[in-house]
Chain A
């Protein structure tokens, strides 16, 4: 052990030991010489004899070095030094190779980081592989009047849930949760927070320890003990990260009539019992607090559903657990419901692993990105292989000399491998740095407004966990070593057996030129595949971004108002009326309105309408989506009125009922008549309210720019009855949305709006402030991200392919200088020479493009689900990519061609 350390030290500090040895040997020699002289040998001879006796100093030095350190280490050090020197002498080659590899390794490491963080790394909960989400397929026959379609719920019936929880043996724990959207006052400001009411099993199932305090005890899920609260880290920060937070109380306000506010009691103090650590945001990213849920029947007797997570018992499959759940449900409801056919041939319950449920939507995209960076790496490797082959000619003589003076094949392979691994290592280091930048870019592109009301479709799951971690760096290391070895080994093996032929003939064979051409064609083909993919995604994104949403998004500000007091929905409506009235007085405000929801807010309520025609009532086939809006909403949003009129002051409460339908509804249900003037009935039987169709509005893409407009009608919110017997949908399930059209700077207008809100309610704050443009942009987050990322990868691939082509052309011109000189001497013109070179590059490019295009045609169908408004074989994209690449490639070969054309025959012929 001691010797091992000593040897290791000597590996690192060879010079000192060498100096010491030299001194010792010199003294040895002197002593020997003295001795010889003493024995009467002449001085000169004494010296020679002494040297003979001591033996070869170099040999002794080598033996000494082997003994005092590790010979292989020493060789390695020398190899590395030599490699550094060699590479330093060819800075152009080194730079291109290192950058090429860095791009390939960097892109792969960045995407691997994302894939690893999102898809591979287990969720941060105890034994999270056993956690599943429950889905229930319900036949249409069991829903409402029994005539609707089959439905698939992401939540379970509350009654079934209790039964399953009590009886199941295949499920270790079952927990349910529901969103609660409440407001509390922090430092005088009304602050809206999203939280979840959770059943007793929730926290024990996840097994995450709180940062402070505790989670809920089982008895806190029983009536009378439930007013306790666990805060999320973000919420705790809002309270100033007060370490004395435990034991303090928080009082929430909210609309007790709303489906969210109704889930938990408001206006009572909740005692804080715990704070969760940063990053804990189960079940959704908006979770800021948790309160216990007392199991209770819904007050109005309607079936209630709650989202469900379960932990499977050990060794139980999710299919077995689902089957047992169904058996329990049948047992509970008796034979009648058991006889109902399963919806769409699917099992009643489906239990989906939590991680799949969460990350499933982005999995295909991540696979596409992985394939894209795989192609980039392949192109990088081909490029490097090509460059290494190009070095063949210059290295061959050197290697032959090394072999001739005694380097064995093993030694030569090691030397060449050292060089390529060193190149790959440098590429890997820069690549890792690029990966950090890449992941930052990814997070930037994937970042959304983070609003739960805008839907999960734009939110990237586990984004906060995405980082370049140790696993990713390991991956980069393995990747660089692998590429270094693979692309170093081929030339190394080729060179390790030099023959005399190689020394004598220093010309590259035509076989090698063929190989290089093949590699360039391969590079071009791969780059074309990526370019086509990127072209499709970019074109698709442009189509999406330029789609007419049906409203005028610019100069439109939207927000909600958080208030410290709980308000009934009539009070909310009265407040909104007053507020909007006052807003009109603000300078820069062109018009102001409020509504139940805005476009792209994921809140849909379909309520059927009955058409009364010639005294006959007929339910419209399709239940249209309902929108409650204020008087000026359509005008403020810039929704077109196609015929008839929008709402006016005369359409207030108590006035004759009116409705504006959209184009889709007019086309679908009023195709054979003029909808204007028709009477439709709104509301439940016995409380029907007649509405006259006074206008037809243009279609609005309410749920996403990529979703075709659905039939819809607008009611003036002042006319919507709030009487419970109407059983109408709540007016403001997620609060009132305001929208303001401004003529100038949004910042200054916002100040005016805030002042008015404070005048009406001293604690009021604006929340979820965003321009409509931001909301529209937010909805396109994923397509934009995919288009940008694949676009970047394709650009890199294209650049590498062009560099590869340029390299081959430049090399071939250099090689053919003599031939060109002869041609020129024999009367060839500049034009002819250029044509000669360009023809060759064009041939390579054409073959590459042809292979690439047919390859792309084979794989773009995997992009189909990402495309909007075009087919995977979009001819325009294919043509544009082929044309653009051909142009760039010609440009790249123009330089070598021009150099060829300017060859001076005299110089060319003399140079050999």
Chain B
């Protein structure tokens, strides 16, 4: 059960993307979603999400608010903001270019 080392900065992108597609989520919801995508039960300590969340919130890309879950528990839900959506676009773009470059290198120069 290897853990995937998450590239510095990519976690922010993943969180933004998840919020953009799924709508407001709490930290656990996000973690569950990531595990689901990764097909991997323990991709990361869920606690490591928090630094990314606080970074994004301080940048004004997401906004957190306390709400009730369907099971009537208190949870802090994060929603993507307008600037967050814009940032997601540029970050996604940048990621594609970067990933493309890495891919090219890995494919063409074995």
Contact = CB atoms under 8 A, between A and B. Distances in A.
Interface residues of B, number: 25
B42 interface: yes
A2 B73 contact: no
Interface stretch (B15-23, B51-59, B94-102): B51-59
Interface in A386-420: none
Interface in A52-80: 53-57, 59-60, 63-64, 66-68
B27 interface: yes
A7 interface: yes
B90 interface: no
Contact of B46 (A7, A55, A68): A55
Given A54-B46, A57-B47, A27 B55 contact: no
A241 interface: no
A491 B53 CA distance: 42
Interface string A28-47: 10111011000000000000
A6 interface: yes
Interface in A19-33: 21, 23-25, 27-28, 30-32
B103 interface: no
Nearest to B35: A53
A63 B51 contact: yes
A200 B51 CA distance: 75
B58 A25 contact: no
Nearest to A55: B45
Interface in B1-58: 26-29, 31-32, 42, 45-48, 50-52, 54-55, 58
B55 A67 contact: yes
B28 A31 contact: yes
B59 A3 contact: yes
Contacts of B85: none
B73 A34 contact: yes
A56 B28 contact: no
Nearest to B74: A27
B95 to A, nearest CB: 20
Contact of A25 (B32, B47, B71): B47
A60 B58 contact: no
Interface string A477-520: 00000000000000000000000000000000000000000000
A749 B84 CA distance: 90
Contact of A63 (B32, B46, B50, B74): B50
Nearest to A3: B58
A28 B76 CA distance: 9
A24 B54 CA distance: 12
A32 B58 CA distance: 26
Contacts of B42: 53
Interface residues of A, number: 27
A27 B75 contact: yes
A24 B73 contact: no
Contact of A31 (B45, B59, B73): B73
A21 B47 CA distance: 11
Contacts of B51: 63-64, 66-68
Nearest to A38: B71
Given A2-B58, A2-B59, A53-B42, A60 B28 contact: no
Contact of A2 (B28, B60, B69, B75): B60
Contacts, number: 78
Nearest to B75: A27
A60 B73 CA distance: 22
Interface string B69-85: 10101111000000000
A54 B50 CA distance: 11
A28 B47 CA distance: 9
Contacts of A32: 28, 46
A320 B105 CA distance: 75
A31 B46 contact: no
Nearest to B54: A68
Given A24-B27, A27-B75, A60 B47 contact: yes
Nearest to A67: B51
A31 B69 contact: yes
A247 B32 CA distance: 90
Nearest to B44: A55
B47 A34 contact: no
Given A28-B28, A31-B75, A32-B28, A55 B47 contact: yes
A53 B32 CA distance: 11
Contact of B48 (A7, A34, A60, A68): A60
B45 A56 contact: yes
B58 A56 contact: no
Contacts of A35: 28, 32
Contacts of B32: 35
A31 B29 CA distance: 9
Contacts of A67: 50-52, 54-55
A231 B78 CA distance: 74
Given A31-B26, A55-B45, A56-B45, A21 B50 contact: yes
Contacts of B69: 31
Contacts of A23: 74, 76
A68 B59 CA distance: 11
Interface string A274-289: 0000000000000000
A74 to B, nearest CB: 14
Contact of A30 (B31, B52, B59, B73): B73
Nearest to A66: B51
Nearest to A68: B54
Given A55-B47, A66-B51, A24 B76 contact: yes
A55 B59 contact: no
Contacts of A34: 71, 73
A165 B5 CA distance: 85
B92 to A, nearest CB: 20
Given A53-B42, A55-B46, A27 B59 contact: no
A23 B27 CA distance: 12
B58 A7 contact: yes
A63 B44 CA distance: 14
Contacts of B45: 53-56, 59-60
A28 B32 CA distance: 11
A2 B69 CA distance: 31
B46 A27 contact: no
A3 B62 CA distance: 13
A461 to B, nearest CB: 58
B73 to A, nearest CB: 6
A25 B50 contact: yes
Contacts of A2: 58-60
A53 B50 contact: no
Contacts of A27: 26, 28, 73-76
A56 B48 CA distance: 9
B54 A28 contact: no
A98 B51 CA distance: 41
A66 B58 CA distance: 13
A28 B27 contact: yes
Contact of B58 (A6, A53, A55): A6
B36 to A, nearest CB: 12
Contacts of A63: 47-48, 50-51
B46 A64 contact: no
A56 B102 CA distance: 33
A7 B29 CA distance: 26
A35 B75 CA distance: 14
A63 B45 CA distance: 12
B33 to A, nearest CB: 13
Contacts of A21: 50
Contacts of B29: 31
Given A35-B32, A55-B48, 6 more contacts: A3-B58, A24-B50, A28-B26, A60-B47, A64-B50, A67-B55
12 contacts: A28-B75, A31-B73, A31-B75, A34-B71, A35-B28, A54-B45, A55-B47, A55-B48, A60-B45, A60-B50, A64-B50, A67-B51
Interface of B: 26-29, 31-32, 42, 45-48, 50-52, 54-55, 58-60, 69, 71, 73-76
Of all A-B residue pairs in the complex, the 9 with the closest CB atoms, nearest first, are: A55-B45, A60-B47, A67-B51, A6-B58, A55-B47, A31-B28, A68-B54, A3-B58, A63-B51
